[in-house]
């Protein structure tokens, strides 16, 4: 007997957008307020897990054809790459650099290597959490 989950699927469409938006906000707010790659990654992973709960795995994989193990590996590579990159410039390990770039539409914006490191952390967290949830769901 199939469970009628129309309400769950309808609410999920709106709630996942809000969750993913909050995750991106917390990711970018991490430099000046509490947040960053870890908590942003956890929030993003929770939105993806909600999609897996509301829909079946095949439906979500059609919309998001990612191998989350590779996402986690890319995140680790990105985070360690920015950490090791400081050694090439003869500065202490994990030293960050910051610069301002004039972007045509937005004007003068600040960019930092910490953002790249935090993106690696976020990708690692998303990849690991979703992989664990999918592994648990296969063990029925």
Backbone φ and ψ for 96, nearest 5 degrees, come out as -100, 160
Q: Would you say residue 14 has pLDDT above 80?
A: yes
Q: For the chain, give the mean pLDDT.
A: 88
Q: Would you say residue 73 has pLDDT above 90?
A: yes
Contact predicate 129/49, CB 8 Å: yes
pLDDT digits (tens, 9 = 90+) for 121-132: 999 999 999 999
Contact predicate 126/48, CB 8 Å: yes
Local confidence band at 30 (pLDDT 50, 70, 90 cut-offs) = confident
Q: Would you say residue 87 has pLDDT above 90?
A: no
User: How much is the pLDDT for 138?
Assistant: 82
- pTM of the predicted model as reported, rounded to 2 decimal places: 0.86
**b/e burial code for range 71-80 (CB count within 10 A of at least 16 → b):** bbeebeebbe
Find all residues with CB under 8 Å of 69, minimum gap 6, and list them: 127, 131
Question: CA-CA distance, 82 to 52, in Å (whole number)?
Answer: 32
What average pLDDT does the segment 23-37 reach? Answer: 82
């Amino acid at each position: 007997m199939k469970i009628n989950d129309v309400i769950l699927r309808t609410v999920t469409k709106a709630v996942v957008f809000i969750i993913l938006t909050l995750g991106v906000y917390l990711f970018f707010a991490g430099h000046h307020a509490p947040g960053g790659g870890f908590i942003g990654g956890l929030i993003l992973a929770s939105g993806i897990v909600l999609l897996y709960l509301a829909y079946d795995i095949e439906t979500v994989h059609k919309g998001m054809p990612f191998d989350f193990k590779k996402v986690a590996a890319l995140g680790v590579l990105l985070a360690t790459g920015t950490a090791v990159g400081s050694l090439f410039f003869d500065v202490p390990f994990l030293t960050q650099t910051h610069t301002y770039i004039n972007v045509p539409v937005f004007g003068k914006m600040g960019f930092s290597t910490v953002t790249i490191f935090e993106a690696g952390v976020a990708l690692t967290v998303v990849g690991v959490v979703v992989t664990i949830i999918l592994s648990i769901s296969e063990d029925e």
